[in-house]
Amino acid sequence: MSFIKKFFGSKPVIAESKYKKISDVLTSGFASKTVGAGYAMKPDVYYISASVELGNTTTKCIITATNLNTSHSYIINKTVKMTRDIRLPKDLEKVFGKTVWGVELTEESVAEMVRDTINVCLKDANVDVNENLDFVVRSTGVTAGFKTTEEVGKLIIALAKGCLDADVPPSKMAPAMSTSSLPERIRDYSLLDLVMFDGAVVGVLPPKGKEVVANEMEGELITAGIKLGAKWTKIDYRNPCVSIDFGSTLAGRVVNDVQPYANTVGNFLGLAGVISDSLVKGSGQVDKNLGAAIDLYSKNILKKANWKKAKLNADRVHKLIDIKKVPMDVDRFGTVPLDPIAAESAGTTLIGCDVGFNGDKLQDIMDLGGELYDESGISTLFATMDYVTALIVKRVLNVAFKENIISKGSVLGITGRAGITGKKPELILDLVKDKFKDVVFVSDGLALGTSIMARCMNSMGTPKAPIGGNQGKRCILTERINLQKR
């Protein structure tokens, strides 16, 4: 234990949304609460949204309810399926892309997977799509296996079709034109009559011009989601900030402190959880083609780990990992499609993580995983993966600091299955705590991001508990109004 304490440092701040039943949410917001002699407190009103995400490893539908007075977000229900279980393409169906593990995708097969996932989630939560749900946002983490950014657009269309097939009305997937088209219970919380949605999500603008990287939307959503999740902590995770998402692939942003809207000055991309999955595949304990670390992970998996050995193992793994500023002469890095020239024009630095050249050395990672498993067993292999993730964080941030794109006083946020499980938070915090004002770890960052994006699209801010704007400062509503009057 002394070794663990030495390397783990301080206790990390982890934000996890609490759960509420839909019945509790629906009974709120209709009457003021008496709080003393003649005084009434504003009732709790919740914005109910669904996040639908197709990732390389998992496909999820997460229903959230956000208190429009406090910005605290609650999970109503979560349904998770394995993306590898998408059915095979049928005759005459056109394959438009693959996951990072080679699972072929068609519009029809994706739509069916999305439809079924939504239906199960709604049914289990007793949520009526027409009566209770305010908005549905769709997103994807499946970009690494694609050839072009255009293929991502085809996937978004397939996700939309799946939502429609689940009887989600089109009006609940697009911004409202006026407050009158919103449900009466939330109408007073919309600022549409004062400011329109102009593309900024929680006070951050996307890179200008042509799309610079295929996972751009993912980076936008997880940054917003970490901001929302951090409301459960004492950390003011607003601009300037850095976000990193460890799904199968790497995503995230570096955001500066310009007001009223900050700029995206950095973007992370490439391989992330795929590296851990490859180590596990090499152990022979999961399917060598479609297996994942999540298949074996449990809270007790690290119980017999040799942490000293794991740290040495991670150094061996990192000899195969390439982390750097993306060169100007490539159109993919870490298998993710990108446009470095457009990124430079937009003032965005691309920082990538690869294994070999576009993942062509992942087999070497698998082989090494087999060796490490034979030497030390499954517990130490999972501990090795924790160190591998922590070192990836350290290395991508070192590049960002070298490029001088991280603003003074920035807060760091981490999310994603391969970034917050096990002892990763403690290890990461120990490596970066001297470089950031604060560090926060948030579960389900992408889903929370879709929740807050839905609110942004309908101008449903919380001026008294702002999520946009800069740390320690008031809401930017006045500045936004003045900007849109020009």
**Which residue ranges form the domains of the chain, and what is each CATH number?**
2-9+207-448 (no CATH), 17-193 (3.30.420.40)
Mean pLDDT value of segment 41-66 = 89
pLDDT of residue 2: 36
CA-CA distance, 480 to 195, in Å (whole number)?
7
pLDDT of residue 427: 96
CA-CA distance, 425 to 422, in Å (whole number)?
8
- pLDDT band at 375, cuts 50/70/90? very high
Average pLDDT, the chain: 90
CA-CA distance, 413 to 407, in Å (whole number)?
14
- Convert the pLDDT of each residue in 262-298 to its tens digit: 999 999 999 999 999 999 999 999 999 999 999 999 9
CA-CA distance, 5 to 3, in Å (whole number)?
6
Count of CA atoms in the C-beta half-sphere (13 A) of 8: 15
pLDDT surpassing 80 at residue 38? no
pLDDT surpassing 50 at residue 118? yes
Q: Which helix (H) or strand (E) element contains residue 118? A: helix 107-125
pLDDT of residue 145: 62
pTM attached to this predicted model? 0.91
Q: Which of 17-31, 239-253, 284-298, 418-432 has the lowest mean pLDDT?
A: 17-31
pLDDT of residue 42: 64
* The pairing of beta strand 73-82 with beta strand 95-98: unpaired
Q: Per mean pLDDT, which of 90-99, 152-161, 177-186, 378-387 is the most reliable?
A: 378-387
